[in-house]
Amino acid sequence: MPVVVVESPAKAKTIEKYLGSDYRVLASFGHVRDLPPKDGSVDTDHDFDMKWEVAADSRKHLAAIKAALKDDQTLILATDPDREGEAISWHLLEALAPALKKGAEVSRVTFNAITKTAVTEAMGKPRQIDQPLVDAYLARRALDYLVGFKLSPVLWRKLPGAKSAGRVQSVCLRLIVDREMEIEAFKAREYWSVHAHLATPGGEEYDASLVSLAGKKLERFDLATADQAAMALSAVVSRDLKVASVAAKPASRNPWPPFMTSTLQQEASRKMGMGAKACMSAAQRLYEAGLITYMRTDGIDMAPEAVMAARDAIKAKFGENYLPKSPRMYKNKAKNAQEAHECIRPTDMMLSPDRLKVTADDQRKLYDLIWKRTIASQMEAARMERTTVEIDSPDGQVGLRATGQVMLFDGFLRVYDQGRDDDEGEDSARLPAIAQGEAATLVAAAFDEELAKARDKVAETPAAPKGQRAAPGLLTDEAARAAARQHFTQPPPRYTEATLVKRMEELGIGRPSTYASIVTTIQDREYVRKDKNRLIAEDKGRLVTIFLLKYFPRYVSYDFTADLETELDEISAGDRLWREVLSRFWKDFSKALEGTSELRITEVLDAIDEALAPHLYPPRADGGDPRECPLCGQGRLNLKTARSGGAFIGCTNYPECRYTRPLSSPDGEAPVGDRVLGEDAGDVISLKTGRFGPYVQRGEATEEAPKPPRASIPKGWDAASLDLAQALMLLNLPRLIGPHPEDGQPIETNIGRYGPYVKHGSKYANIADVDEVFTIGMNRAVEVLAQKQTRGRAAAAAPLRELGDHPDGGPIQIMNGKYGPYVKWAKVNATLPRDVTPEDLTVEQALELIAAKAAKSPAKAKKPAAKKPAAKKPAAKKAAAKSAAKATKATKATKAKPDDA
């Protein structure tokens, strides 16, 4: 029977169900070949000849495909319908060539959705491998290899602690570093706004804002101080006001287009806090289950039959009022039509999220998002009425404005509305019926509650001008009818994964298949950390970026990277030759590499220090030298690097002066450096700052005692306000509490690498509060130790979840370990991925994790021993090993595609 090859076992299982017993469907488990991770895999001296290597894990998958081809020499390559999928098919054909006899039939089929109709139609339209798409893959892979394996060693040699560089990864990192430096260089600017609470003659209330004063339109910074705001406030409350005009205009909002890869990742981040990697993982599983169309796409168009199916679903679920007269058509944004695919949509429009039979929470939520966006994209527009009310004083000195809108028909908003980023928003206040010429009366006590809350935050109420009341950032008149609010301009927000992907898409950097891996890579390499969903550049990331900008500016240029992406698209369209693109790139890139060969580390640091000088050493308020050490007044500040790869600012007068401050805080706290705290038993007790932060020390280093007693300052303690008593408490650790009442062994407390703890013999128990180290008594210490022992036994006895039995026997359990939850089967322990919680883990996912772990440690992958006669033991062991190997083969997770990094 014909052999059909796809990437993953899940996809193979679904397709085999549609094709029936006439076909044999096997999985390649992703890419079967790649460039060996060593220098020379791309031969720049021989027309960029590429040396491919079959991965060790892929050999058994290829062997299974070759074995199947012995029965039938008909090979159908059905990998994903994009550049990467075409490359996997090409690799498979190259690797299987020795097993194909003369006259063998090899064809390529693609489908945008794994449904019976789509798969059946695709099998009836076979084609050959698209060589231009393969060429584009070869060019991209070679480019990424050359940058990674030629530029990364330069970083290792010239910049201690740097890990690697990547063609697109480094440009993405630059975006985050540039934004961080914008934030740090930002200077907030004060401004005020004035607001009034008004009422119609009928007593209905509404809010209005001051928009003109003394006959002049107010700009944002016209009220720049509290005094100016107080004058404007007085002008408003001292005048009669009336409605000058009421303008009501109809407006409409059209729905958003259906999802493509980048917009799906953005919306999953906004609405669910889901990272790009987790989003694509969940989407991959939905696609392989036949629930959605292919999820790596830059297209937003929808197949005609899908549009009609969406319209039928809208009519059935919401009625004809929500159905536009004609289908909505969305223009595809893809630059290369050859690679453009359909949007990401459900394969069955009538399968609403409430009917979805999927247990994984992330998949259910993502399907809900995709279904709603798709259905909404074909719904009627939302209709509303936007009203603007202009209010002024008879003398024309004061002008206010009230705005609002009324929803007349919700349209697509009944189903879905897109989330918003930091700089987006919309005024949706409701207004009462207001008539032109009527009086606008100020309402007393309207701002009393706001004033009271503002005053509760401070001990003392600030002074206010005569006839007004004040609170921090707020002024009102005596009757609280109007208020002036203080504002400060805000720095640009840090990127989230959603806004970063959006910005990369705007600049033309990367492609749908690469966004998730790029964002993940810069975090894995500790160039960037994620805090409350915001991406923050680490010192390592800053240094790498500045180094590249200094010595390789062209290769971290946004325009250059985008232009190279366009050239790759042109290769895939057959308009360029891939070796010519590589040749032109390599000619200039190799020269840039040669230019750094003689650089010394000190020279690099000086260059980076100079490049960062405006940021690291901003002008001082007193006009003094920004580089003068604020602690000793004699040394100068300069950039230093630690062995860990981090960076800091230190004094050139080291070791006499130990002043340091973080690289990212040029205006940081008061300097922390050497200072004497006092004396104890004839020893000087001093506070010092080292590579790993501030610490206290008894005495000074001598030849006899090169390492005097020291203690780090605990987290949460303020080094700047540390006194002698606190220092002695730290230096006198560990603290003896006394003998244990049961065995007489001493119990003591201390602060260790993992925080404060209580120790009894060889037993340790953590305590939550550092201060408790110095106050905890015997009863409390014994209680903490007993609780730790009880928790330890409970954790060993009870799993977090029981998932059922493994196909080879024995329970599959989720346990809680020292480094987080893990899956346990027999002797195999597989750590859960960061984006998977114990509650959401399915049996299928657990089997994949177990199989992947077992492949690395085959000796542990034996099924639980069964009771058998002694003579049968060797056979039992052999059968167990064979069965475990079979489970590994059947359930091993698909290898991730090597996305651009």
* Interstrand relation of 675-680 and 683-690 (parallel, antiparallel or unpaired): antiparallel
Report the pLDDT value the prediction gives residue 804, as an integer from 0 to 100: 83
Report the pLDDT value the prediction gives residue 257, as an integer from 0 to 100: 95
Average pLDDT of the chain is 85
For the cut 70, the answer to whether the pLDDT of residue 338 exceeds it is no
Report the pLDDT value the prediction gives residue 483, as an integer from 0 to 100: 97
Q: How far apart, in whole angstroms, are the C-alpha atoms of residue 391 and residue 396?
A: 10
For the cut 50, the answer to whether the pLDDT of residue 843 exceeds it is yes
Q: How far apart, in whole angstroms, are the C-alpha atoms of residue 511 and residue 188?
A: 36
Considering just the CA atoms, what is the radius of gyration of the chain in Å? 34
For the cut 80, the answer to whether the pLDDT of residue 148 exceeds it is yes
Report the pLDDT value the prediction gives residue 888, as an integer from 0 to 100: 43
For the cut 60, the answer to whether the pLDDT of residue 878 exceeds it is no
Q: What angle do CA 174, 179, 180 make, to 5 degrees?
A: 100
Q: Give yes or no: 294 in active site.
A: yes
**pLDDT level of residue 428 (50, 70, 90 thresholds):** low
Helix, strand, coil: what percent of the chain each, to 5? 40, 20, 40
**pLDDT level of residue 599 (50, 70, 90 thresholds):** confident
Report the pLDDT value the prediction gives residue 802, as an integer from 0 to 100: 85
Please tell me which residue, 37 or 222, carries the higher pLDDT value: 222
Q: How far apart, in whole angstroms, are the C-alpha atoms of residue 205 and residue 199?
A: 4
The β-bridge partners of 199 are 205, 441
User: What are the residues whose beta carbons fall under 8 Å from the beta carbon of 576, sequence distance 6 or more?
Assistant: 567, 570
Report the pLDDT value the prediction gives residue 525, as an integer from 0 to 100: 86
Q: Would you call 490 helix, strand, or coil by DSSP?
A: coil
Q: How far apart, in whole angstroms, are the C-alpha atoms of residue 624 and residue 631?
A: 14
Kind plus residue range of the DSSP H or E element containing 824: strand 820-825
Mean pLDDT of the 433-456 span: 94
- Closest Cα to residue 402, out of 545, 111, 204? 204
For the cut 50, the answer to whether the pLDDT of residue 785 exceeds it is yes
For the cut 80, the answer to whether the pLDDT of residue 396 exceeds it is yes
Q: Would you call 195 helix, strand, or coil by DSSP?
A: strand
Distance of CA 249 to the CA centre of its chain: 41
The single residue of 23, 206, 287, 294 carrying the catalytic annotation is 294
For the cut 60, the answer to whether the pLDDT of residue 621 exceeds it is yes
For the cut 50, the answer to whether the pLDDT of residue 641 exceeds it is yes
For the cut 50, the answer to whether the pLDDT of residue 336 exceeds it is no
Q: How far apart, in whole angstroms, are the C-alpha atoms of residue 658 and residue 646?
A: 17
For the cut 70, the answer to whether the pLDDT of residue 60 exceeds it is yes
Mean pLDDT of the 487-493 span: 93
For the cut 60, the answer to whether the pLDDT of residue 699 exceeds it is yes
Q: Would you call 353 helix, strand, or coil by DSSP?
A: helix
Compute how many other C-beta atoms are within 10 angstroms of the C-beta atom of residue 297: 26
Q: How far apart, in whole angstroms, are the C-alpha atoms of residue 696 and residue 185?
A: 34
**pLDDT level of residue 543 (50, 70, 90 thresholds):** confident
In percent, how much of the chain has pLDDT > 90? Answer: 49
For the cut 60, the answer to whether the pLDDT of residue 558 exceeds it is yes
- Taking phi first (over 0 means left), then psi (-120 to 50 degrees means alpha), and beta for anything else, what does residue 381 get? beta
For the cut 80, the answer to whether the pLDDT of residue 647 exceeds it is no
pLDDT, tens only, 100-138: 988 899 999 999 899 999 999 999 999 999 999 999 999
Please tell me which residue, 844 or 27, carries the higher pLDDT value: 27
pLDDT, tens only, 658-694: 777 766 554 444 444 457 777 788 787 888 766 566 7
Report the pLDDT value the prediction gives residue 891, as an integer from 0 to 100: 41
Report the pLDDT value the prediction gives residue 868, as an integer from 0 to 100: 45
C-alpha distances out from residue 513 to 65, 248, 271, 280, 455, Å:
27, 46, 22, 9, 53
Q: Token pair of 566, please?
A: 């366009």
Report the pLDDT value the prediction gives residue 656, as an integer from 0 to 100: 81
Report the pLDDT value the prediction gives residue 901, as an integer from 0 to 100: 38
In percent, how much of the chain has pLDDT > 70? Answer: 89
For the cut 70, the answer to whether the pLDDT of residue 896 exceeds it is no
For the cut 80, the answer to whether the pLDDT of residue 421 exceeds it is no
For the cut 70, the answer to whether the pLDDT of residue 893 exceeds it is no
**pLDDT level of residue 373 (50, 70, 90 thresholds):** very high
C-alpha distances out from residue 25 to 58, 90, 564, Å:
16, 18, 37
User: Treating both helix axes as pointing N-terminal to C-terminal, what angle do 83-96 and 58-69 enclose, rounded to 10 degrees?
Assistant: 70
Report the pLDDT value the prediction gives residue 339, as an integer from 0 to 100: 47
Contact 35, 146 (CB under 8 A): no
**pLDDT level of residue 748 (50, 70, 90 thresholds):** very high
Q: Token pair of 753, please?
A: 């690498």
For the cut 80, the answer to whether the pLDDT of residue 861 exceeds it is no
C-alpha distances out from residue 505 to 501, 509, 512, Å:
6, 6, 9
C-alpha distances out from residue 698 to 675, 690, 736, 737, Å:
12, 15, 20, 23
Mean pLDDT of the 617-632 span: 84
User: What are the residues whose beta carbons fall under 8 Å from the beta carbon of 74, sequence distance 6 or more?
Assistant: 2, 3, 104, 105
The structure's pTM equals 0.70
C-alpha distances out from residue 882 to 777, 787, 850, 851, 874, Å:
58, 44, 16, 13, 12
pLDDT, tens only, 231-290: 999 999 999 999 999 999 999 999 999 999 989 999 999 899 888 889 999 999 999 999
Q: What are phi and psi of 694, to 5 degrees?
A: -75, 150
Contact 487, 190 (CB under 8 A): yes
Instruction: Render 102-144 in DSSP notation, one character per residue.
Output: TT-EEEE---SB-SHHHHHHHHTS-B---HHHHHHHHHHHHHH
Q: How far apart, in whole angstroms, are the C-alpha atoms of residue 413 and residue 322?
A: 10
CA dihedral 73, 79, 84, 87 (to 10 degrees): 0
**Worst-scoring range by mean pLDDT, 14-18, 125-129, 339-343?**
339-343
Report the pLDDT value the prediction gives residue 886, as an integer from 0 to 100: 43
